[in-house]
Amino acid sequence: MIPDHLKEFLDSKVEQYNMPLFIESDPICIPHLFSKKEDIEIAGFLTATIAWGQRKTIINNAKKLMQWMDYRPHEFIVNFKEQDLKPFKKFVHRTFNGIDCVYFLQSLKNIYINHYNLEDVFSKDSDEVKNKIIHFRKLFFEMPYPLRVAKHISNPEENSAAKRINMYLRWMVRNDKKGVDFGIWKNIKASQLYCPLDVHSGNVARKLGLLNRKQNDWKAVEELTTQLKSLDQTDPVKYDFALFGLGVFENF
């Protein structure tokens, strides 16, 4: 059982970091540039895909993608021609390069032309979010793809923590009424989500006694999320704000 004082501490940190001021310096600021549902989910997906490394660099590179789409990502995705992909072929963010970027755009076009939208794809399969991610990944790679591209969509079936996908799902699903997460996807409940897990949140969770597993993998994600559900059954991933804030801003 988690002590009451720890729950109170974490709840206070959620209140501290789950605020609109958080948006400006976080990659979530990119989908916040838009109001149309499809624009938000496309901008969010592409931003979450490159969300590793320095946050300033992530934001700058994600803005570059939006600029090349004339800040109309949904319109661009469903209508682009081969010649429109020229600037994207030179895109680089760490190990995500032009080859990866072009395939991601082509796969998104396939989704919006043949599978309705991203929410619909993620809503398929069972109620278990792990299976939803696996289903999405298989569909995302249903077209022929360069082998190097596959590493950019994590696979919990291979015990990956899938941090960026879980973060993206938090963005789309949670309706926290604070204006940070969007809550525009209605077919997945916040209670079904898994907490995004990376080096920072993992280290904080271990120091707080919320996580025993040493590896940051899917088993650790399940262990941590189970603990967080004991704090809030309906919205366990709100504690991502606390873990992230303590790790990044307070060097906890």
The torsion region of residue 181 among left (phi > 0), alpha (psi -120 to 50) and beta comes to: beta
CA distance linking residue 197 with residue 227, whole number of Å: 13
With a cut of 80, say whether residue 126 has pLDDT above it. Answer: no
Q: What is the pLDDT of residue 159?
A: 98
Q: What is the mean pLDDT of residues 23-30?
A: 96
Q: Please, which pLDDT band fits residue 240 given cuts at 50, 70 and 90?
A: very high
What's the whole-model pTM score?
A: 0.97
53-56 — which CB contacts under 8 Å span 24+ positions? 53/93, 53/94, 55/25, 55/26, 55/27
What's the number of domains the chain is made of?
1
Q: Quick one: CA dihedral 146, 59, 55, 39, positive or negative? A: negative
Q: What is the pLDDT of residue 198?
A: 95
Range of the domain at 81: 4-248
Q: What is the pLDDT of residue 177?
A: 85
Q: Please, which pLDDT band fits residue 176 given cuts at 50, 70 and 90?
A: confident
Q: Please, which pLDDT band fits residue 175 given cuts at 50, 70 and 90?
A: very high
With a cut of 90, say whether residue 108 has pLDDT above it. Answer: yes
Q: What is the mean pLDDT of residues 81-91?
A: 98
Q: What is the pLDDT of residue 247?
A: 95
Q: What is the mean pLDDT of residues 159-171?
A: 98
Q: What is the pLDDT of residue 204?
A: 98
Nearest to 155 by CA among 132, 137, 129, 128: 137
